[in-house]
Amino acid sequence: MTEPLEGLSQSLGLLGRLDEAARDELGVELAIIGREGLAAQRAATPKDTGELAGDLSIRLLIERLKIRIGLLAGGRDASRFNGRAVKARAGGPFYGRIVYFGRKAQTVLVTRRIKQRRLSGNNKNGMRRSTVLAGKAYTMKVRVRAGVPFIDAPGAGFAANAEGQIAEYWARTFARAGGPA
């Protein structure tokens, strides 16, 4: 889902020789590009409740001069989902993957809302937990859903605009340093 920029290794080598102000300015340019990319992804996201578009985020790694945009794992919302702590939330919203890649038609066995927990014992020597099924499992047909590539396709103009902003940055930096413009 990520695409490396051409010439990035040469640029990073050059950045090691640049002063701190130029690095900070590049960080600002990356942040601007990231916000534009995030806005483009949110516009391309299919909206049912709007929650998937809200889960898109941006992460600026200034030490590495990288930006990450999309459904990122972890972060501020990693430990809370519907008021409960959920480990799986650290992987990001699971339904984003279903919307992005789609799903195939299938028949699944549903066992929700039929499980009951029962505790037995006198709590002196420990309690024994058992799961008792209080109903019958049933089958459900899941319809096919085509994938919507809302992360990779933020628009044809986004990549050209980002490359243009980076080219302008380098032109300004070289002009200040007295190098080739």
* Per-residue pLDDT tens digits for 124-135: 666 666 666 677
- Alpha-carbon distance 89 to 34, whole Å? 23
Main-chain dihedrals φ then ψ at residue 80, nearest 5 degrees: -125, 130
Please give the pLDDT value at position 63: 81
Q: How confident is the model at residue 105 (pLDDT cuts 50, 70, 90)?
A: very high
- Res 69: pLDDT: 86
**Whether residue 70 has pLDDT greater than 80:** yes
pLDDT surpassing 60 at residue 123: no
The angle formed by the CA atoms of residues 62, 67 and 68, to the nearest 5 degrees, is: 135
Half-sphere exposure of 129 (CA within 13 A, CB side): 4
Classify burial at 21, counting beta carbons within 10 Å of its beta carbon; exposed 0-12, middle 13-18, buried 19 or more.
exposed
Mean pLDDT along residues 31-40: 88
Please give the radius of gyration of the chain, using alpha carbons only, rounded to the nearest integer: 24
Per-domain boundaries in the chain: 8-101+148-177, 106-142
Q: Taking residues 59-86, report their average pLDDT.
A: 68
Task: Count CA within 13 A, CB hemisphere, residue 14.
Answer: 12
Least reliable range by pLDDT among 6-15, 48-57, 59-68, 139-148 = 6-15
Question: Widest CA span of the chain, in angstroms?
Answer: 83
d(CA 12, CA 179): 17
16-25, 121-130, 162-171, range with greatest mean pLDDT: 162-171
pLDDT of residue 57: 85
DSSP bridge pairs for 117: 131
pTM strictly above 0.75: no
Question: For the segment 77-96, what is each residue's pLDDT rounded down to a tens digit?
Answer: 555 545 445 544 445 677 78
Instruction: Give, in order, the Cα–Cα distances in Å from 143 to each of 47, 94, 108.
Output: 19, 18, 11
